[in-house]
Chain A
Amino acid sequence: MSCLETIQAYGLRAVGIGERLLPREDFTLCQQFTLIGSGMIWNIYFGLVALTFGFFLATALAVGKASPNRMLRKPAEWFIFIFRGSPLFIQFFFGYFLFLSLKGVHPFFDAFTAAWLGALIVLFLNTAAYSGEIFYGALLSIPKGDTEAADAYGMTGWPRFRRVIWPTMLRLAWPAYTNEAIFLFHATALVFFSGFPAWQQRGDALYYANYFADKTFNPFVPYPILAMYFIILTLIVVGIFGMVNARLNRHLPQNVQKKLRIRPNLIR
């Protein structure tokens, strides 16, 4: 089988399109590149969707945690504490078994035991908690002058938040939020190792890398391929977030703008 045929057969294998059976013997480099790359579809899907939805919940959580109202503050604090204080791995397991028991109660929860929804929900809540804490920190460090200026203009309520507080919060939080995004993409690799079954062997990149490592008993090929894919993904994320960062800071004098410092040194 030529490499082009392999790509046709396995390029979209992770979403169930193409050859049904995974290669069983005579593993070629091309097969490994193709299948692991195809698994990246899941990593990108989980990361992207969780990040998008998580962003809004995170904003709400940050505002809630900074609120003087006890009824709003306490739930936000507890939510952030629970998801930041426990390992994501355990959260995945707990989520999976929770959905499994709920499935017995009502068939509505059928879809939740599948990785595409169940794991996504866990990732979404988790990233919302981490980003919520980041945004909360940024909310506290908004310069006093900015809010005073907003007050002086007679802004209150929603316009005040939308036009002054929120943009400044994002600007301050962005470097840390970039790390969180990188980190979330790395965390997506855990999904298929934590209870959620890979239905019909449709797994993510690490699932396939692990498959090849098990079959060939040679970790020195699939894992470096996986590493390469993830480093590329990380660089893309850094690039996109860098562009957003430049836009958020465009009103500042150019030499004052802080460059993004990427220090992804957190694990969940």
Chain B
Amino acid sequence: MACYLTTGKHMSIYTSVFTVLLLLAITAPVALAFGFGGATAARSPLAPLRWFGKSYIAIVRGVPDIAFFLFFVIALDQGIEYLRHKALCRDWSEPIRQGNDFVVCQAAKMPLGDAPQWVHESYGFALAVLTFAIVFGAFAANVLFGAMRAVPRAQLETAEAYGMSPRQTFWRVLVPQMWVYALPGLSNLWMVLIKATPLLFLLGVEDIVYWARELGGTKTSRFTDYPHGDWRMWYFLALLVFYLIFTRISEIVLDRVMQRLTRGQATAGGEAQRKALA
């Protein structure tokens, strides 16, 4: 059994767990940045910027996320290749879209055709991260937009009364105060993000779902030392348990953080904590 679980292929499923963790580690801050940008744009005094921010939030929330995942991966890939094509091959005369084909010159291929395997893999992974960040950025923008509006109006008026410029009010008063209001939404989003990671499989990244299907499938003794029947059910059961443990731990940690943040706040939660102590 121990031998079976440490074959070369099983090692790849363990590393793919790290792929998932890496994705989470990169996506979470990037999506937060996107969300911050989106929320700031949505409350901008400049009308076109405001429309952009609001429609970004609205469209991504109205459509299934999986559709976006499938869409952005191709769209981003083609967009990058299109731009590179325009920049690198100026004397190319044929149209890029020829019927059902998307043709760019060799130099504009992304990644280059002769690039090593790992470049292809990390390019695919980077596209996946960007896609996740765009989609989750919209959700985060929604949460932050709500949190910015939840900051008591009197706080902002006080800042104005002190003669702060709008920019100073935003950075020194609004942003530091909004996090308490944003945290429940953001922690919810984090759980959602964890549960969205298996969708990586659809983006063509060799993640745990891919390996669970590979390894669980029926094996005959011709190809492996450990022949077995269709074990995919058990592999997915293991994944299910993995995710359950992961979300449970996150839940506990986020609860602690919330406890810590509400301490001394003038909210119902903070009041309850004060009463419990007294």
- Interface residues, chain A, with chain B CB atoms under 8 Å away: 25, 27, 81-82, 85-91, 93-94, 97-98, 100-101, 186-187, 189-190, 193, 206, 209-210, 213, 215-220, 223, 226-227, 230-231, 234, 263-268
Give every chain A residue within 8 A of B209 (Cβ-Cβ). 89-90, 93
Q: B244 and A81: CB pair below 8 A? A: yes
Which of A85, A93, A190, A230 is close to B247, meaning CB atoms less than 8 Å apart?
Answer: A85
Given A86-B195, A101-B230: A93 and B61 within 8 A (CB)? no
Q: Shortest Cβ distance from A87 into chain B, in angstroms? A: 4
A33 CA / B213 CA spacing, docked (Å): 33
Q: What residues of B have a CB within 8 angstroms of the CB of A266 in the complex? A: 188, 192
* A82-B244, A97-B216, A219-B71 as given contacts; A88 in contact with B233, CB under 8 Å: no
Across the interface, do B233 and A86 meet the contact criterion of CB distance under 8 Å? no
* A100-B230, A187-B64 known; A86-B243 Cβ under 8 A: yes
CA distance in complex: A263, B216 (Å)? 39
Query: Is B67 an interface residue when CB atoms closer than 8 A count as contact?
Result: yes
In the complex, A129→B244 CA distance in Å? 14
Q: Does B75 contact A (CB under 8 A)?
A: yes
Chain B residues in the interface with A (C-beta under 8 A): 59, 61-67, 70-71, 74-75, 78, 97, 100-102, 139, 142-143, 185, 188-189, 192, 194-199, 201-202, 209, 212-213, 216, 230, 232-233, 236-237, 239-240, 243-244, 247-248
Closest to A267 in B: B192
Q: If A85-B244, A86-B240, A100-B230 touch, does A217 touch B196 (CB 8 Å cutoff)? A: no
Q: B75 touches which one: A87, A219, A231 (CB < 8 A)?
A: A219
Partner of A263, one of B74, B142, B230: B142
| B101 shortest CB reach to chain A, Å | 7
The answer to whether B74 touches A219, judged by C-beta atoms less than 8 angstroms apart, is: yes
Which residues from B are CB-within-8-Å of A209?
67, 70
Which chain B residue shows the least CB distance to A268? B195
Given A87-B198, A90-B240, does the pair A217, B101 have CB atoms closer than 8 Å?
yes
A210 CA to B240 CA, complexed, in Å:
27
21 contacts between A and B (CB under 8 A): A27-B100, A85-B244, A85-B247, A86-B243, A93-B213, A98-B233, A187-B64, A193-B66, A210-B70, A213-B70, A218-B97, A219-B70, A219-B78, A263-B142, A265-B139, A265-B143, A265-B185, A267-B195, A267-B196, A268-B192, A268-B195
A227 adjacent to B244 (CB under 8 Å): no
A264 to B247, CA, bound (A): 20
CB distance from A132 to the nearest CB of B (A): 17
B78 to chain A, nearest CB (A): 8
B232 x A189 contact (CB < 8 A): no
Q: Once the chains are docked, how many angstroms separate the CA of A206 from the CA of B194?
A: 23
Q: Which residues of A contact B102 (CB under 8 A)?
A: 217-218
A101 touches B233 (CB 8 A): yes
Q: Is the CB of B188 within 8 A of A206?
A: no
- Specify which chain A residues have a CB less than 8 angstroms from the CB of B212 in the assembled complex: 93
| Distance A95 CA – B32 CA, assembled complex (angstroms) | 33
In the complex, what's the smallest C-beta–C-beta distance from A94 to chain B, in angstroms?
4
Residue from B197, B240, B247 having most chain A Cβ neighbours under 10 A? B240
